[in-house]
Structure 1
Amino acid sequence: MMELLQLGYVTSVAATAGCTIERVTADLWGMDVAFVRPPATPLEEEVMLLAQLKCTTQTTPDPAKETFSYQFTKRQYFDHLVKPRRNFKSVLIVMTAPAVQADWTEATHGGLLTRRACYWKHLEGLKAEESVQKPSVRISTSDIFDAQTLIKLMDRVDRGDPLHG
């Protein structure tokens, strides 16, 4: 159910940003979804960004702190994100959810509120000791994954700019 919650969140963000989202059904590269922004004209190329999705109830980011820690459950998930990629860039998207499933969303006449948020991090080039089977990464509490962020990331990919910072 946590996967469905996060998929709903990132799908809503993609729609707001004018992108489509395609699920990666075969786990060949450790990616779960591909965000695709259509070209502005038929002669231009679409832009794509891969993402690995992780949802956890184990942490509650404190906005007063600069970062929070996320620990991968398997080394291979980390390795897929840190390897250099020439063509398709990738990001980690971590959603933190309340421990009680009934608290995940709240519907009102004003809309559907999703409790907590998704955060993103580009890990390409990071290193972890080979002996570490469950690497951890620090994620900035200011890097909330929303439509403006996705647009900026797609613009960077389109220009060939680095995704860091």
Structure 2
Amino acid sequence: MEPAEGKKPRASNIEAVDMRYVTTMMEQLQQGYIKSVAATAGLAVEIVPVDVYGYDIRLIRPPSDPLDDESAVLAQLKCTTQIVPDQSREYFSYQFTKRQYFDHLVKPRRYPKAILIVMTAPPRQADWTEVTHDGLWTRRSCFWVSLEGAYADPSVKKPSVRIPIKNRVDAKSLSEILDKIDRSESLND
């Protein structure tokens, strides 16, 4: 997939294999991470083919009883090479490139709920993964946050949000998110 004509990649700090495709590769990296973790949690991942509503994937957990409904959560995916979360702090900040991405996530939703997933990746593309005899290692991690009900002044064109370091995306956290949704609990707690 080629980038739009005349469109330059956003990240000038990236050492890419080919700068024309780096944002597409960042998206693939994040989707691969999420699909791997979701598989470990027993979830299916559906890629949303058209980005009309601001969501990239839907995570679905089958019901334990065939007569019950499945659980699902929508997610907007973002990947950045400019952030290295400091484990000694509670949060890191992420700035949206467009206001509309923020607005999709803050509106109250009955079902399905929605989360933001931000992946931090090394700026050198060759360092994104490492294959050893012990397995495939993905460098850095994904973190999630629910922004439902969050506020940013309407004049702010690129809102920043705080992503809790404790909200690392792993099989346990994805299961806990869907458990909260099943119990109609807030994802902000």
Q: Which has the larger radius of gyration?
A: 2
State the Cα distance separating 1:28 from its structure 2 match. Answer: 1.9
Offset, 1:29: 1.1
**TM-score (structure 1 length as normaliser):** 0.98
What fraction of aligned residue pairs are identical, expressed as a percent?
A: 59
The reply on whether 1:68 has 2:97 as its aligned counterpart is no
Segments of structure 2 that go 5 or more residues without pairing to the other structure are 1-24
- Residue 84 of structure 2 aligns to a residue whose secondary structure is coil
- How far, CA to CA, are the matches of 2:103 and 2:92 in structure 1? 20
The 2-side partners of 1:66 and 1:152 are apart by: 20
What CA RMSD, in Å, does the superposition of the two structures yield over aligned residues? 0.6
Q: Which amino acid aligns with 1:92?
A: L
Shift of 1:58: 1.1
Q: How far apart, in 2, do the equivalents of 1:162 and 1:25 lie? A: 28
Paired residue secondary structure (1:138): strand
1:77 positional shift: 0.2
Runs of 4+ in 1 over 6 A off after TM superposition: none
CA distance in 2, matches of 1:2, 1:74: 18
Which residue of the other structure, out of 51, 75, 78, is the alignment partner of 1:27?
Answer: 51
Per-residue CA deviation, residues 37-61 of structure 1 (Å, 9 max, x unaligned), is 0011211110010000000001110
| Structure 1 residue 108 displacement after superposition | 0.4
Which residues in structure 2 correspond to 1:15-164 (within 5 Å)?
15-164=39-188
- Give the match for residue 33 of structure 2: 9
Alpha-carbon displacement from aligned partner over 1:99-134 (angstroms, at most 9, x marks no partner): 000000010010001000000000000000111000
What is the aligned residue count? 165
In the TM superposition, residue 74 of structure 1 has moved relative to its aligned partner by 0.2
CA distance in 1, matches of 2:26, 2:114: 21
Deviations 1:10-55 (A, max 9, x none): 0011100000000011112100000000011211110010000000
**TM score, norm. by length of structure 2:** 0.86
